[in-house]
Structure 1
Amino acid sequence: MASDTADIRNGAVLNIDGQLWTVIEFQHVKPGKGGAFVRTKLKNVTTGKTVDRTYNAGAKIEITNVDRRDYQYLYQDGADFVFMDTSDYDQITVSGDTVGDATNFMLENQMVNIAIHDGTPLYIELPPSVVLEITYTEPGLQGDRSSAGTKPATLETGYEIHVPLFIENYTKFKVDTLDVSYLGRVNV
């Protein structure tokens, strides 16, 4: 779909030289001298590479239509992952390469958002935070509530994260899926 830079939004998918790029950030800039321009940060949908790109205001760009739907993660099948569309119960299989690092934070029955273009899953978007349980961490120091110290902890997905020293085994807590940080304990 032919558009111009005024149509750039976060999450829009641009087709640049046959490759699909997601807009992570954009900023319309109107300097005192010279013409206005749009500064963007783009992420390649297939490789995950990010680049900064600047367009003159009004430049023609190609925005691609991407279907984003909520899916429920069902199970892993070898290197692939099976998801179900909760609106019509259709199942799709997504390759492990496409799922990528999201596997570190996915549990069965978890809801995710999958972007699909021409029937091909492009990427998986996790919720901003997920609740996971620690299966193993070294014993903490009782009474140490300082935020300065951290220790490694293994999550129920097998992924390792750093948590405050006072956290113990089998603690459920919120994890920020964007920057992989500890957000606090959850009482269940």
Structure 2
Amino acid sequence: MVQASKIKKNSVLDIAGKLHIVDTITCQSPSARGGSTLYKIRTRDLITGQKTDHSFKSDEMLKEGEYEKRPVEFSYIEGDNYTFMDLETYDQFQLNLDFIGDDKNFLLEGMELTALLIEGIVKTVTLPDTVQLTVTECDPSIKSASATARTKNAVLETGYNLQVPEYLESGEVIKVDTRSGEFISRAK
């Protein structure tokens, strides 16, 4: 059992006898004294892929789902199917774009991920919290760009668009938060 306030993205929960993976979490603080904090959680059914919204009070206890984690490597894309290789058994498996979702914006060939297996069947993969990606296109840097919070649009090697600081140029490698899709810093 886990408290609703302790749930993180990619947690697996047993809700009404079905396994769900947490996609997004938003915290809603009470507006009145004595009110309790609400956690609005969007989950995806690991069998059907159907998305569902749930609301829980911060002290509510939820049942964690039983699953196995295994290291995998992203191999290639074929149509809407993403192919991965199990790093322990070297077996290959495919997941449809519906099960990958927005994570496709951060996948690079050869990237190591974690697969979630339920009863020996891969249901989804989880990304690391941060990835390093190369900026392929962005507006030119301004010479007088200061270290202020001014941003510009950039396109990464995966085709993902995000806002980056003005001082960045094409070809630079940056760190991106896979949970929010936001720029973190230059890669070192």
- TM-score range relative to shorter protein: 0.7 to 0.9
Counterpart in 1 of 2:65?
Answer: 64
Take 1:9 and 1:152, find their aligned partners in 2: how far apart are those partners?
34
Counterpart in 1 of 2:18?
Answer: 19
Take 1:173 and 1:5, find their aligned partners in 2: how far apart are those partners?
34
Residues 1:95 and 1:120: Cα distance change in structure 2 (over 3 Å): farther
TM-score by length of 1: 0.76
Deviation at 1:109, TM superposition (A): 0.1
SS where residue 116 of structure 2 aligns? strand
Counterpart in 2 of 1:52?
Answer: 55
Gaps of 5+ in 1: 26-38
Deviation at 1:48, TM superposition (A): 4.4
Take 2:121 and 2:157, find their aligned partners in 1: how far apart are those partners?
29
Give yes or no for the alignment of 1:110 onto 2:102: no
Q: 2:113, 2:126 within 8 Å by CA — same for their partners in 1?
A: yes
Take 2:58 and 2:168, find their aligned partners in 1: how far apart are those partners?
47
Take 2:58 and 2:170, find their aligned partners in 1: how far apart are those partners?
50
Counterpart in 2 of 1:151?
Answer: 152
Residues 1:122 and 1:50: Cα distance change in structure 2 (over 3 Å): farther
Take 2:59 and 2:144, find their aligned partners in 1: how far apart are those partners?
57
Residues 154-186 of structure 1: per-residue CA shift (max 9 Å, x gap): 000011011001111111111111111111112
Counterpart in 2 of 1:36?
Answer: none
Deviation at 1:122, TM superposition (A): 3.0
Take 1:40 and 1:76, find their aligned partners in 2: how far apart are those partners?
35
Residues 1:13 and 1:40: Cα distance change in structure 2 (over 3 Å): farther
Q: 1:135, 1:154 within 8 Å by CA — same for their partners in 2?
A: yes
SS where residue 89 of structure 1 aligns? coil
Take 1:148 and 1:55, find their aligned partners in 2: how far apart are those partners?
34
Q: 2:95, 2:124 within 8 Å by CA — same for their partners in 1?
A: no
Counterpart in 2 of 1:30?
Answer: none
| CA RMSD after TM alignment | 3.0
Deviation at 1:55, TM superposition (A): 9.2
Q: 1:81, 1:93 within 8 Å by CA — same for their partners in 2?
A: yes
Counterpart in 2 of 1:77?
Answer: 78
Deviation at 1:119, TM superposition (A): 4.3
Take 2:63 and 2:142, find their aligned partners in 1: how far apart are those partners?
56
Residues 1:141 and 1:15: Cα distance change in structure 2 (over 3 Å): same
Residues 1:43 and 1:115: Cα distance change in structure 2 (over 3 Å): farther
Q: 1:71, 1:113 within 8 Å by CA — same for their partners in 2?
A: yes
TM-score by length of 2: 0.76
Q: Percent identity?
A: 28
Take 1:133 and 1:41, find their aligned partners in 2: how far apart are those partners?
33
AA at the equivalent of 1:15:
D
Take 1:146 and 1:66, find their aligned partners in 2: how far apart are those partners?
45
Q: Say how many residue pairs are matched.
A: 170
